[in-house]
Amino acid sequence: MTTSHYIAGRWVEGQGSDCISVNDPALGQPFAELMAASVAQVDQAVAAARGALPTWKATNASERAAYLRGFAEQLGQRREALITLQMRNNGKPRHEAEIDLDDAIATFSYYAELAEQLPSKNRDVALAAPGFSARTRLEPVGVVGLIVPWNFPLVTSAWKLAPALAAGCSVVLKPSEVTPLIEQAYGQIADSLGLPAGVLNIVNGKAETGAALSNHSGLDKLSFTGSNSVGSQVMRSASAQCRPVTLELGGKSAIVVFDDCDVDQAVEWIVAGITWNAGQMCSATSRLLVQDGIATALLPRLQAALEKLRVGNPLAEEVDMGPLTSQAQWLKVASYFATAREEGLQCLAGGKVLDREGWFVSPTLYADVPKDSRLWTEEIFGPVLCARRFATEEQAIAEANDSRFGLVATVCSADLERAERVADALEVGHVWINSVQAVFVETSWGGTKGSGIGRELGPWGLSAFQSVKHVTRCLG
């Protein structure tokens, strides 16, 4: 693949120095490669977005909504190809790849509706002081850079791209070099719909390309999803330009199980929270806090459930969990298995890489993990679950909140009043009660503490790409 960059409404060849190898993680082998964009091509993409901005932001909201609905419809028309690509490049089981696509479609449809609801006129503001009038208007923030990760391509880009376009922003999208192919669909759809040239630009590349975009003086905002280490670099770039930034970063989330739970139901929620996408989720509930009264019954059943999971190539067989998406992530998770052995942790299930082609690891459970263990405190980004016991509600809340992250949490209890009380006390951005991690476009997404800045999805996702202007006039 040579024409892998979409700039100013045209597909162009990469002129950078990096060759990107695209891998099938179930085989551990490349199936495509492309040349990265050069720094000059990043400049061209930003210039194209800047040139397209005045006309695009002046487009009426209903016309922008029509484009967004077009994106939703054409994603659906590409359904099987996109699902297969998610399975092949990410290693996702089919049912997960299907949910990813449905999520992206729902996101574009939702922001089409919000775009149509944008006020066509300014809103008058009542003033206490006589002799003045005031009005408020919402404007697009401008040209935005969108940097998205490899664990949920197509989805995370939809969460950013749809509200940005709805708000009237023009964008430069930089996919992950691990999964650069699936976002090409957005450029193809833009072509098919006749989206004005320059409104959407896509540049692929590694760190050099990402740095060129995040450091670019032509951007008005950056929106980044990824690791904390890279997020801090993006934030430094934004601070140098004194421009706004949205960061969706890591997590080390807790799932709290009280002793009034149905054991089998609790096991289902726990397994889903740590093995979905092979645990490669910032929201993975990788810290299990289980109350003393249920621990003896729950842990053996959880061990059996993890050992029963079918792990394999999603394109070759029906599986519950696929491989890790990259060799780098496979090696990282393997290093935590080694750390667990060094720390003498009690391994109830897994704890090893699988002896087969591809980047597979076993779903893993460690019991009675000390609070100072690296596996308890650090984000692993794999199907590795660490368990601790607690006695009281107060202890559960304290231990759940004892983290530098604050993205999500899950509470499992038959006492709904208690579950709601605990949910309110947890220092995170999203809490599930007695549920798998169902994410709806109408709700918000984002965290507290080291898990990021700002919110995506819902009306908050749209407002992240809007600027508020007040106009005050003297009536005298």
CATH number at residue 396: 3.40.309.10
Q: What element of type H or E holds 290? A: strand 287-291
Q: What is the pTM of this model?
A: 0.96
Contact 149/156 with Cβ under 8 angstroms? yes
446, part of any domain: no
Q: Which residues pair with 448 in a beta bridge?
A: 406
Packing angle between helix 94-117 and helix 79-90, nearest 10 degrees? Answer: 120
**Residues 186 and 294 grouped into a single domain:** no
Starting at the edge strand found earlier in the chain, the sheet holding 466-474 runs: 123-125, 132-140, 466-474
E strand or H helix at 12? strand 10-12
CATH number for position 167: 3.40.605.10
Is residue 160 located within the same domain as residue 308? Answer: no
Residue 445 lies in a domain: no
101, 143, 316, 358, 413 from 153: Cα distances, Å: 10, 21, 22, 20, 33
**Considering the domain boundaries, does residue 431 fall inside one?**
yes
389 in the same domain as 404:
yes
The residue segments making up the domain with residue 280 are: 254-440
User: Are 359 and 416 within one domain?
Assistant: yes
Q: Which two tokens stand for residue 61?
A: 């909201």
Q: Are residues 183 and 309 in the same domain?
A: no
307 catalytic residue (yes or no)? no
Strands 221-225 and 170-174: unpaired
Claim to verify: residue 117 and residue 180 sit in the same structural domain: yes
Is 399 a member of any domain? yes
Question: How far is residue 53's CA from residue 139's CA, in Å, rounded to a whole number?
Answer: 12
How many domains does one find in the chain?
Answer: 2
User: Residue 57 falls within a domain, yes or no?
Assistant: yes
pLDDT at 33: 93
Instruction: Say yes or no: 228 and 295 in one domain.
Output: no
List the pLDDT tens digit at each of the 476 positions of the chain. 556 899 999 999 999 999 999 999 999 999 999 999 999 999 999 999 999 999 999 999 999 999 999 999 999 999 999 999 999 999 999 999 999 999 999 999 999 999 999 877 788 999 999 999 999 999 999 999 999 999 999 999 999 999 999 999 999 999 999 999 999 999 999 999 999 999 999 999 999 999 999 999 999 999 999 999 999 999 999 888 899 999 999 999 999 999 999 999 999 999 999 999 999 999 999 999 999 999 999 999 999 999 999 999 999 999 999 999 999 999 999 999 999 999 999 999 999 999 999 999 999 999 999 999 999 999 999 999 999 999 999 999 999 999 999 999 999 999 999 999 999 999 999 999 999 999 999 999 999 999 999 999 999 999 999 999 999 999 98
Catalytic one of 169, 282, 386, 412 = 282
Please indicate whether residue 386 is annotated as part of the active site.
no
Q: Same domain for 429 and 466? A: no
For the beta carbon of residue 405, count every other beta carbon within 10 angstroms. Answer: 25
Do 38 and 75 sit in the same domain of this protein?
yes
Q: Which of 248, 379, 399, 456 is catalytic?
A: 248
Please give the pLDDT value at position 2: 55
Q: Which residues pair with 283 in a beta bridge?
A: none
Question: What pLDDT does 120 receive?
Answer: 73
pLDDT at res. 121:
73
For residues 354 and 468, membership in a common domain is answered with no
Do 61 and 151 sit in the same domain of this protein? yes
Beta strands in 197-253 (DSSP E): 200-202, 221-225, 245-248
Residues 90 and 223 in one domain: yes
